[in-house]
Amino acid sequence: MMAYTPMIQQYLAVKADYKDAFLFYRLGDFYEMFFDDATRASQILEITLTSRDAGMKERIPMCGVPHHSAKNYIDTLIQKGYKVAICEQTEDPKQAKGVVKREVVQVVTPGTVMEGKNVDQKSNVYIAAVEQLAQQYGFVYLDLSTGEAVATYIDGDVKDVFQQLQSLQIREVVVSPELYDEWLELADRYAIVLSIAEKQVADAKEYIEDIPTHLHAVAKRLLHYLEETQLRALSHIQPFTFIEVQSILKIDANSKRNLELIQTLRGELKGSLLWLLDETVTAMGGRKLKQWIHQPLANRTAIEKRLQTVSHLMDSYFIRLELQTLLKEVYDLERLAGRIAFGSVGGRDLAQLRASLRQIPFIREQLEESGHEQLITLSRQMDDCQDIEAFLSQAITDHPPISIKEGDVIREGYNAQLDDYRYASRNGKDWIAQLEQKERERTGVKNLKIGYNRVFGYYIEMTKSNVHLADLTRYERKQTLANAERFITEELKEKEAIILNAEEKSLELEYTLFTEIREKIKPFIPRIQQLASQISELDVFVSFATVAENYQFVQPTFHDEQALKIVNGRHPVVEKMMNKSLYVPNDCILTTDENMLLITGPNMSGKSTFMRQVALITIMAQMGCYVPADEAVLPVTDQIFTRIGAADDLAGGQSTFMVEMMESQHAIMHATERSLLLFDEIGRGTSTYDGMSLAQAMMEYIHNEIGANTLFSTHYHELTTLEQALPRLRNVHVAATEQDGKVVFLHKVKEGPADQSYGIHVAELAELPKAIISRSRELLANFESNTQSGEVQVIEKIVEKIVEVPVEVPVKEQVKESSDQLSFFEAQEAVPALTQEEQEALNKLRSLNVSGTTPMDALQLVYQLQQTLLK
Q: What is the pLDDT of residue 695?
A: 84
Instruction: List residues bridging with 452 in a β-sheet.
Output: 458
Residue 277 identity: L
Helix (H, G, I), strand (E, B) or coil at 842: helix
Q: Give, for 132, the enclosing helix (H) or strand (E).
A: strand 126-132
Query: Does 425 count as an annotated binding residue?
Result: no
Q: Distance between CA 743 and CA 113 in Å, rounded?
A: 54
**What is the rounded (10 degree) CA torsion for 172, 176, 181, 185?**
-20
Helix (H, G, I), strand (E, B) or coil at 457: strand
Q: What is the pLDDT of residue 867?
A: 67
Q: Which residues contact 252 (CB under 8 A, 6 or more apart)?
A: 163, 164, 167, 641, 666
pLDDT along the chain (871 residues), means of 10: 85 94 95 97 96 89 94 95 95 86 95 89 95 93 96 91 91 95 89 92 92 95 95 90 94 90 92 96 97 96 97 95 97 95 92 97 96 94 95 96 89 92 83 87 88 86 88 84 89 82 89 94 96 97 97 96 96 88 90 94 84 97 98 97 63 61 83 94 70 86 94 86 93 82 80 72 66 68 58 46 41 40 40 67 69 59 69 61
Q: What is the pLDDT of residue 807?
A: 37
Q: How many CB atoms within 10 Å of residue 402?
A: 9
C-beta separation of 448 from 462 below 8 A: yes
Cα 242 vs. chain centroid, distance in angstroms? 21
Q: Which residues contact 813 (CB under 8 A, 6 or more apart)?
A: none
Q: Distance between CA 356 and CA 327 in Å, rounded?
A: 9
Distances (CA, A) of 489 to 450, 479, 498: 11, 13, 15
Q: Distance between CA 598 and CA 607 in Å, rounded?
A: 10
Q: Which residues contact 418 (CB under 8 A, 6 or more apart)?
A: 410, 506, 509, 510, 513
Query: Does 776 count as an annotated binding residue?
Result: no
Cα 60 vs. chain centroid, distance in angstroms? 41
Query: Does 759 count as an annotated binding residue?
Result: no
Q: What is the pLDDT of residue 805?
A: 39
Query: Does 645 count as an annotated binding residue?
Result: no
Q: What is the pLDDT of residue 19?
A: 93
Q: Give, for 532, the enclosing helix (H) or strand (E).
A: helix 525-551
Q: What is the pLDDT of residue 498?
A: 80
Query: Does 285 count as an annotated binding residue?
Result: no
Q: Give, for 680, the enclosing helix (H) or strand (E).
A: strand 676-680
Q: What are phi and psi of 56, to 5 degrees?
A: -105, 175
Query: Does 602 count as an annotated binding residue?
Result: yes
Query: Does 124 count as an annotated binding residue?
Result: no
Query: Does 138 count as an annotated binding residue?
Result: no
Cα distance between the two ends of the chain? 78
Q: What is the pLDDT of residue 153?
A: 95
- Alpha-helix residue ranges (DSSP H) falling in 738-826: 759-765, 770-803, 811-816, 818-826
Distances (CA, A) of 52 to 4, 34, 174: 12, 9, 37
C-beta separation of 730 from 694 below 8 A: no
Domains, the chain? 6-108 (3.40.1170.10), 126-243 (3.30.420.110), 273-383+524-551 (1.10.1420.10), 416-497 (1.10.1420.10), 557-765 (3.40.50.300), 791-869 (no CATH)
Q: What is the pLDDT of residue 646?
A: 52
Q: What is the pLDDT of residue 18?
A: 95
Q: Distance between CA 717 and CA 729 in Å, rounded?
A: 15
Q: Distance between CA 173 and CA 107 in Å, rounded?
A: 15
292-307: burial string, b at 16+ Cβ within 10 Å, e else: bbbbbbbeeeebbebb
Q: What is the pLDDT of residue 827?
A: 40
Q: What is the pLDDT of residue 206?
A: 92
